[in-house]
Amino acid sequence: MLALTGATGFLGGRIASLACANGWRVRTLQRRPDVALDGVWEVVPGDLADGRALKRLVDGADVVIHNAGLVRARSPAAFMAANAVGTNAVARTVLAAGAPPFLLVSSLAASRPTVSPYAASKAVAEVGVRRILADHALAIIRPPAIYGPADGATKPMFQAMLKGFAPMPGPADARLAMIYVDDAASAVLAALDVASIAHPLFEMDDGAGGYNWSEICAAAEAAAGRRLRPIRLPMSLIRLVGALGDVGAGMSNSLGFQPPFLTSGKVSEMRAGDWIADPALSLPQWRAEVLLEAGFRRTLAWYREAG
């Protein structure tokens, strides 16, 4: 039996689906228990702040995957509460339940904790988990940028492709590791087999070692089957949008809307240079199946079919 948080999210839904297909009984923690996920064995209503729900989630679990977290938040404190405090609560519950193997889905951003509040929260989460479960089987996996059908963060990029444009928002020579969502889910489940005390940390990508924006644009054109007009966004404009995003994030709670994805923290991540996985931390005996052009083609096809 596999206990899973964050199952209703972009990556979490793929993890749940793949685990069910591989014969796991999957139990999920969901703030919205009315969201049905095909094949899920049991749903525990609650969130990371609900101690009773966490206890029920991990009770009798053979493995626990903590995938829940925020990629957008109204403030740095909100990032820390969800991504660090929430993660530590799950880890303590796992320890109290006899410490079945535990896997934390972190982020490549955790390798640079000073870059943004999001990166800091993921790094603090990793430190907390390694302290709480220091003598138990543990895996921490850091995905890079994940893309694929129905992802809210990358949707604008694919919308632009379908209209004939290729946005290029980052530094031209910076390399960005990427991975298709189904491969990311596969890597998460593969990491369960290598959870250990001595070497718990892993990073992943699609095997290409990252792409610069010209390569990303070329893959987009090949996937779209047409020439795309590159749109290089000035960093001054991106910084302005990020500052406006900070204002929107601060107002989101009181006005009842989701915080924007593009804030000054995200702009700092975009300006930080290369974001590539460390080959020394790669998952043993695991390889991605979908490279960038094929992943773009699958994603564009999905958006076309979905209208």
- The yes-or-no verdict on residue 261 having pLDDT over 80 is no
Rounded mean pLDDT of 165-188? 91
For the stretch 83-110, pLDDT in tens is: 999 999 999 999 999 999 999 999 999 9
DSSP state of 11: H
Domains belonging to the chain, first-starting first, are 2-144+179-207+278-289 (3.40.50.720)
Rounded mean pLDDT of 139-150? 96
**CA torsion, ordered 210, 84, 61, 21, to nearest 10 deg:** -30
- The yes-or-no verdict on residue 255 having pLDDT over 70 is no
The confidence score (pLDDT) of residue 239 equals: 81
The confidence score (pLDDT) of residue 184 equals: 98
Residue 238 CB: number of other CB atoms within 10 A?
Answer: 18
DSSP state of 260: P
- pLDDT band per the 50, 70, 90 thresholds, residue 256: low
For the stretch 33-87, pLDDT in tens is: 888 899 999 999 999 999 999 999 999 999 999 999 999 888 999 999 999 999 9
- pLDDT band per the 50, 70, 90 thresholds, residue 260: confident
- The yes-or-no verdict on residue 142 having pLDDT over 70 is yes
At 81 the three-state DSSP class reads helix
The confidence score (pLDDT) of residue 240 equals: 85
DSSP E strands in 135-237: the ranges are: 138-142, 145-147, 165-168, 178-180, 201-203, 229-232
Say if residues 139 and 40 touch (Cβ distance below 8 Å): no
**Both tokens assigned to 236:** 């001054």
Cα–Cα distance for residue pair 221/300, rounded to 1 Å: 11
**The one-letter amino acid at 208:** A
148 phi-psi bin (left φ>0, alpha ψ -120 to 50, beta other): left
For the stretch 178-213, pLDDT in tens is: 999 999 999 999 999 999 998 999 999 999 999 998
Dump the DSSP string for 216-252: HHHHHHHHHTS--EEEE--HHHHHHHHHHHHHHHHHH
